[in-house]
Structure 1
Amino acid sequence: MEKQNLLEVRDLHVSFKTYNGEVQAVRGVSFDVKKGETVAIVGESGCGKSVTSQTIMRLIPQPPGWIKSGEILFDGQDLTKLSEKQMEAVRGKEIAMIFQDPMTSLNPTMTVGKQIMEGLIKHQNLGKDQARERALEMLRLVGIPSPERRINQYPHQFSGGMRQRAMIAIALACAPKLLIADEPTTALDVTIQAQILDLMNDLKEKLETSTILITHDLGVVAETADRVVVMYAGKVIETGTVDEIFYRPRHPYTWGLMGSMPRLDLSREKELTPILGTPPDLLSPPKGCPFAGRCKYAMKICKQQMPETTSLQESGSHQVACWLEHPMAPAVEPPVEMVGGGSK
């Protein structure tokens, strides 16, 4: 039996007003998140990943940002239509977020325990004693040692890995239906990173929380995600399961991402393949495919018109927006070294 969609983002457009004009940060993004599923959103810096996630939480500053059009359906309710007061009841309780840098996200003037208790008192209507017990339970759940002592400490007394665990404890305290993790392991060393990823996988199974994982680290994606959304220049250019994206990618930009990822199964002499060029200026985005200027397979039509999204399977799980999928386009296969495990 197929799981129901918890979140449906439909044709979302988000822009920012600047002195130079309108920056079109998100341009027609659509994707779903099913109940209990982890969806990774990947792409270069500036592709619109974080803006999309912050828009779901309605955290983009307005002005200069504004939602031009589109729907964000969460449990059937359009979040774009809610007032700020109504959104306050959703944030923390229904949807929670782990931010990129825990040191700047945690309040340095409050103990970690009080920061966990704050949401519990507000959203769960718990008394202080009950909230404290629940906070201790959350600290144990995320693997922080000596929680009875740590609950009274401040963020600066925690290591980087423990601060990230504390952020996860705050986010999960009210048992949200959807967790958005924005680069949750960026500032951590590889040992702590592995522990955080294991923790997120364990909590997903225990609490059945749906997760949106924002990252540029494809190793993290392979470890945690069920499905992948590839973004470029504010658009979704390919979506699929982890296996489809890693072993059967169809968009040249996705090939480039794979080619720039370190691989242990290739010889030492084999250098990483960078994606040459720079992303387009979103003050005046191209009318055609945004990747056309950097794509060695680009055809004339690529620069003139944005391709439609093509479903590569009857299930519709693997979709790509690329003119190479057109019946009249030349047959092009991805370079073997750019695909996660070779052709499978």
Structure 2
Amino acid sequence: MSELLNVDNLHVSFKTYSGEIQAVRGISFNLERGETLAIVGESGSGKSVTTKAITQLLPKPQGYIKAGNISFEGNDITNYTNKQMQKLRGKDISTVFQDPMNSLNPTMKIGKQIAEGLMKHRKLNKSQAKAKTIELLELVGIPQPETRLGHYPHQFSGGMRQRVVVAMALACSPKILIADEPTTALDVTIQAQILELMKDIQQEMDSAIIFITHDLGVVANVADRVAVMYAGKIVEIGTSEDIFYNPKHPYTWGLLGSMPTSDNDGELYAIPGSPPDMLNPPEGDAFAPRNEFALEIDKQMEPPMFQVSDTHYAATWLLHEYAPKIDPPEAIQRRMQGFASMGGDD
């Protein structure tokens, strides 16, 4: 695998009447060709803002990159103009958003909406674009694609609309597919189908995927690596096995404990409190007020990223050599054992 994307010390802020909202506060990660990276965390943790910064879809002038660098295939795209980014969006980096009706034009037939990108970025003529559109609809599992390309978005079910959006995102064989909560509005059965579809298409196209979600369970079987975000920072990052079988950050414990599984008898772990106000981020560890295992130092100093293994890092003072040894709560240990016994299936 080779590196497609590198995000280095990224800071993203929003100007408001009340002051500066520090939405993303110095995160770094990379993405390899053919890899699926899941970014997980509660609402407001900075997940979607991160990907909007990558694609330069931040609402301007309120939203802006305050510091840091974003490199795509070795080229610094941090300060690309809108015209430069238009050449990348859709062609090299595509996004599937949460609500397909916000991505589709209700007044245009879906065949025309897909064909537009093919004609613009791949320079296909109308008949070539139509043939490719039918191929894409077939690829994402739309029955009778020749007929359906003449239909409007309202004539499709929610799950089928999301398949259409996936087809649009894949039209130009992007190198990176950003999936921003793509299955949240779908029922569990359709959710599983869409995830399986994306997994299959990724293998066929060798695309890399950044999967944004608040639900760790959604990515248990699709992600190669997982980055856990809290209050604008990555607090833990590692392979799926690292995160599901050997989590180190108390926030990751909480996310795992809040996942419903077939063997938890309805018992879910609730993280107390709520995320901090990003107008005034707290000193020290932002998770400390909600962390039952917080140490005195957590209130004073922000923890660095401690290395757990070659692939696993976590920002918690519990990993310091002088910290007391604290294991995850029993309920979360049972959850981890359940994942191990089921090979990650929930």
Please name the residue that 1:172 is paired with: 170
Q: Is the 8 A contact 2:231 2:276 kept in 1?
A: yes
Letter in 2 for 1:146: Q
Letter in 2 for 1:342: Q
Structure 1 runs of 4+ aligned residues shifted over 2 Å read 339-344
Q: Is the 8 A contact 1:108 1:154 kept in 2?
A: yes
Q: Is the 8 A contact 1:42 1:231 kept in 2?
A: yes
**1:278 matches 2:274:** yes
Q: Distance in 1 between matches of 2:147 and 2:131?
A: 13
Local SS of the residue matching 1:224: coil
Please name the residue that 1:323 is paired with: 317
1:303: Cα distance to partner?
1.2
Please name the residue that 1:118 is paired with: 116
Please name the residue that 1:48 is paired with: 46
Q: Which consecutive residues of structure 1, in runs of 5 or more, have no partner in the other structure?
A: none
Please name the residue that 2:302 is paired with: 306
Q: Is the 8 A contact 2:40 2:47 kept in 1?
A: yes
CA distances 1:75-105 after superposition (whole Å, capped 9, x unpaired)? 0111212111000000000000001100121
**1:295 matches 2:299:** no
1:337: Cα distance to partner?
2.0
CA distances 1:119-177 after superposition (whole Å, capped 9, x unpaired)? 11111011111111111100000000010111011111111011000000000000000
Q: Distance in 2 between matches of 1:78 and 1:285?
A: 29
Local SS of the residue matching 2:141: coil
Q: Is the 8 A contact 2:269 2:331 kept in 1?
A: no
Local SS of the residue matching 2:13: strand
Percent of matched pairs sharing the same residue? 58
Letter in 2 for 1:149: T
Which residues in structure 2 correspond to 1:64-75 (within 5 Å)?
64-75=62-73
Q: Is the 8 A contact 1:275 1:294 kept in 2?
A: yes
CA distances 1:259-312 after superposition (whole Å, capped 9, x unpaired)? 11112223x2x6211000111110010121110011111112111111110111
**1:88 matches 2:72:** no
Q: Distance in 2 between matches of 1:206 and 1:28?
A: 34
Q: Which of 24, 27, 30 in structure 2 is aligned with 1:29?
A: 27
RMSD: 1.1
**1:226 matches 2:221:** no
Local SS of the residue matching 1:81: coil
Q: Distance in 2 between matches of 1:337 and 1:31?
A: 30
Q: Distance in 1 between matches of 2:212 and 2:227?
A: 10
Q: Distance in 2 between matches of 1:253 and 1:37?
A: 25
Q: Distance in 2 between matches of 1:14 and 1:134?
A: 38
Q: Which consecutive residues of structure 2, in runs of 5 or more, have no partner in the other structure?
A: 341-346
Q: Is the 8 A contact 1:230 1:238 kept in 2?
A: yes
Letter in 1 for 2:37: V
Local SS of the residue matching 1:23: strand
Q: TM-score, normalised by structure 1?
A: 0.96
Q: TM-score, normalised by structure 2?
A: 0.96
Q: Distance in 1 between matches of 2:306 and 2:277?
A: 26
Letter in 2 for 1:165: R
Please name the residue that 2:328 is paired with: 334
Please name the residue that 1:15 is paired with: 13
Q: Distance in 1 between matches of 2:259 and 2:79?
A: 40
Letter in 2 for 1:90: L
Local SS of the residue matching 2:124: coil
Local SS of the residue matching 1:223: coil
More displaced 10-residue stretch of structure 1: 334-343 or 145-154: 334-343
Q: Distance in 2 between matches of 1:24 and 1:288?
A: 15
Q: Is the 8 A contact 2:138 2:145 kept in 1?
A: yes
Tell me the matched-pair count: 338
